[in-house]
A = this chain, B = another copy of it.
Amino acid sequence: MRDVAIVGCGMTKFGRREEDLLELLSEASLAAMKDAEMDQGSVDAIYVANMGAGILNHQTGVASALVDRLSLLPAPADTVENGPASGASAIKNAFLAIASGLYDLVLVAGGEKMRAVTGWEVTDFVASMTHRQGEYIYGVTLPALAGMFARLHMAKYGVKPEHLAMVALKNHENGVRNPYAHIQQAVTMEGILHRPEAVVNNPYIAEPLRMFDCCPVSDGAAAVVLCAAERAKDFPHTVVRMAGFGQATDTHAVHQREDPLDLKAVRGAAQAAFKMAGLKPKDIHVAELHDAFTILEIVESEQAGFFGVGEGHLALEKGVTRLDGKLPINPSGGLKARGHPVGATGVAQVVELVWQLRGQAEGRQVPDAANGFCCNFGGFGNNVLAFVLSRE
A239 at interface (Cβ–Cβ under 8 A)? no
A69 at interface (Cβ–Cβ under 8 A)? yes
Which of B60, B61, B264, B383 meets A64, CB within 8 Å?
B383
Nearest CB of B to A296, in Å: 17
- CB-defined contacts of A81 to chain B, threshold 8 Å: 60-61, 63, 78-81
A373-392 interface code vs B (CB 8 A; 1 in, 0 out): 00000110011010000000
A199 at interface (Cβ–Cβ under 8 A)? no
A249 with B60: CB separation less than 8 A? no
Which of B64, B96, B128, B248 meets A252, CB within 8 Å?
B64
Given the interface contacts A99-B100, A128-B58, does A379 sit within 8 Å of B64 by beta carbon?
yes
Which residues of A (33-79) have their CB < 8 Å from a CB of B?
A: 45, 51-55, 58-61, 63-65, 67-69, 72-79
Cα(A311)–Cα(B72), bound, Å:
31
A216 at interface (Cβ–Cβ under 8 A)? no
Most buried by B among A58, A82, A93, A249: A249
A367 at interface (Cβ–Cβ under 8 A)? no
Given the interface contacts A64-B129, A252-B69, does A93 sit within 8 Å of B97 by beta carbon?
yes
A245-261 interface code vs B (CB 8 A; 1 in, 0 out): 00111111100000000
The interface size of chain A toward B, counting residues with CB under 8 Å, comes to: 60
A83 with B61: CB separation less than 8 A? yes
B64 with A93: CB separation less than 8 A? no
A64 with B99: CB separation less than 8 A? no
Cα(A20)–Cα(B80), bound, Å:
22
A158 at interface (Cβ–Cβ under 8 A)? no
- The chain B residue sitting closest to A78, CB to CB, is B89
Report the copy number of this chain in the oligomer: 2
Cα(A96)–Cα(B63), bound, Å:
18
Nearest CB of B to A51, in Å: 6
A155 at interface (Cβ–Cβ under 8 A)? no
A82 with B83: CB separation less than 8 A? no
Which of B59, B82, B268 meets A61, CB within 8 Å?
B82
B97 with A61: CB separation less than 8 A? no
A132 at interface (Cβ–Cβ under 8 A)? yes
Cα(A58)–Cα(B55), bound, Å:
7
B80 with A132: CB separation less than 8 A? no
B77 with A79: CB separation less than 8 A? no
- CB-defined contacts of A247 to chain B, threshold 8 Å: 45, 76
Q: Which residues of A contact B (CB under 8 A)?
A: 1-2, 20, 22, 45, 51-55, 58-61, 63-65, 67-69, 72-83, 89, 92-93, 96-97, 99-102, 128-129, 131-132, 247-253, 264-265, 268, 378-379, 382-383, 385
14 contacts between A and B (CB under 8 A): A20-B132, A53-B54, A61-B81, A61-B82, A63-B81, A68-B252, A74-B250, A74-B268, A76-B248, A78-B82, A78-B92, A78-B93, A96-B97, A99-B100
Besides A54-B128, A63-B383, A79-B81, 12 other CB < 8 A contacts? A52-B60, A60-B81, A60-B83, A61-B83, A64-B82, A64-B249, A68-B251, A68-B252, A68-B382, A74-B248, A78-B82, A96-B102
